[in-house]
Structure 1
Amino acid sequence: MIRPFRYALKDQTPIYVFVSVLFLMGVVFGALMVNALTLEQQQDLSRYLGNFFISINEGGAGFHPMAFWEVAVLHLKWLGLIWLLGLSVIGLPGILILDFLKGVLIGFTVGCLVGQFTWKGLLFALVSVAPHNLIIIPVLLISSVAAIGFSLNIIRSRVLMNRSGSVAGPFVNYTGVTMALGLMMLAASSFETWVTPVMMAWVTPMLESSLTL
């Protein structure tokens, strides 16, 4: 059982590399987008972040941590969309777009924090963005590779008229992998809901003090 898994992983290595590079390109693009903001937009962003950090530090009404199921549903929708796109050949570009977009969102978020608060912003990003994404990003990349692999299997078995194999087996495996990844998403959502806000509260006083300088 281990050998087929090893061979499958070897066969999918180019897809893993391609998806990972695409995601990293999205991160770089998102970080570069910060430099494209106008001065007025940067000032508005700085003002918004400042009020946000003050709300976290003081426990004000502006800071409302999302409930567990709100966070979980958000991540599971993303995972479910990748699974759905993998069921059809025409969904392949959509999977790649989602991976790139995820990288853009993370790159822009981290870029904004570093651009506004330098190393303190980087520290805040490490406690607010990085921890749960260490689980979420691999989950999304694995699900994307599984979706692309299943879609390519449909191309081989249906579009290319190679009907020697059944799609039922790969579909069950594909769905099983997605469900297992969904459990990992729930674990990441738990961390993001109950641990991340506490870590953010530890670091926020440092950023708030820089706003008053």
Structure 2
Amino acid sequence: MRKQIGQTIQLYLKEHQSLYLFTIVLFAMGVVFGAFIVNSLAATQKQELISFLQYFFKQFDQHGITDPRQYFQQSSLFYLKTVGVMWLLGLSIIGLPFILLVLFVKGVIIGFTVGFLVNQLAWQGISFSLFGVLPQNMLIVPALVMIGVGGIAFSLRLLKTGLLVKRELILPYFFRYTFLVVSMMGVLLIAVLFETFVSPQLMQYVLK
């Protein structure tokens, strides 16, 4: 099973190098845009956010995640829905731009989060980003990018072959795309486990 997953990933990386480059650049643009938004916030907005952040840090330092099991379930459900939507978008030609939008928005969120932490908390913000934001996203971002590229590739394949005319030709690509999505969902679950049970310990270490 592990060998089959590895072969599928290698095949997608080799076949769709240009798509990976494009989506990575798009994601990076989202990160830059998110960081830029931080600088465009009004002083009152920054103050409201920093007040909320200080309250969150205080509560988190004292209690951590109050219910790790519930947090894991909620986060897993969130990514399951996200992956399900991306999979469905990849099954239709008109869903292609929305897949790109999902990846761009993910970049914006990460860029804004890291940018705000660094902008407001300086070195502590850098430490918090490295220990609290970066680790799980090293799994989450590649997994979402691979799902996105798989969906884009399948949409382009539909456009090229014509689903209604050559349905038998598209089925192997459908199964391979679906297998990739399921595999990456497994990676996302590992990331959620890390985010639930390891990242809180690292963040509490930084706060102390």
Shared fold (TM-score greater than 0.5)? yes
* Alpha-carbon displacement from aligned partner over 1:45-80 (angstroms, at most 9, x marks no partner): 1111111111122228x9766521111111222222
Determine which structure has more spread, i.e. the larger CA radius of gyration.
1
Q: Is residue 25–residue 103 contact of structure 1 (8 Å, CA) maintained in 2?
A: yes
State the partner residue of 1:198: 201
Tell me if 1:98 matches 2:102.
Answer: yes
The 3-state SS of whatever aligns with 1:166 is helix
Q: Is residue 27–residue 108 contact of structure 1 (8 Å, CA) maintained in 2?
A: yes
Alpha carbons of structure 1 residues 130 and 3: separation in structure 2 relative to 1, 3 Å: closer
Please report how far the alpha carbon of residue 10 of structure 1 lies from its aligned counterpart in structure 2 after TM superposition: 3.3
Q: Is residue 13–residue 20 contact of structure 2 (8 Å, CA) maintained in 1?
A: no
State the partner residue of 1:27: 31
Structure 1 outlier segments of 4+, above 3 Å: 1-11, 62-66, 161-165
Alpha carbons of structure 1 residues 83 and 4: separation in structure 2 relative to 1, 3 Å: closer
Identical amino acids, percent of aligned pairs: 40
State the partner residue of 1:171: 174
Tell me if 1:10 matches 2:19.
Answer: no
- Counterpart of 1:183 in structure 2: which amino acid? G
Q: Is residue 30–residue 104 contact of structure 2 (8 Å, CA) maintained in 1?
A: yes
Q: How is 1:77-92 mapped onto 2 (pairs within 5 angstroms)?
A: 77-92=81-96
State the partner residue of 2:114: 110
| Partners of 1:190 and 1:183 in 2: CA distance | 11
Tell me if 1:119 matches 2:123.
Answer: yes
Alpha carbons of structure 1 residues 35 and 5: separation in structure 2 relative to 1, 3 Å: closer
State the partner residue of 1:208: none
| Partners of 1:204 and 1:156 in 2: CA distance | 53
Cα RMSD between the aligned structures? 2.5
- Counterpart of 2:18 in structure 1: which amino acid? P
Gapped regions of structure 1 (runs ≥ 5): 206-213
| Partners of 2:198 and 2:165 in 1: CA distance | 50
Q: State TM-score, norm by structure 1.
A: 0.87
Tell me if 1:74 matches 2:81.
Answer: no
* Alpha-carbon displacement from aligned partner over 1:94-139 (angstroms, at most 9, x marks no partner): 0000000000000000011001101110100111111110000000
Q: State TM-score, norm by structure 2.
A: 0.89
- Counterpart of 1:171 in structure 2: which amino acid? F
| Partners of 1:82 and 1:58 in 2: CA distance | 37
Gapped regions of structure 2 (runs ≥ 5): none
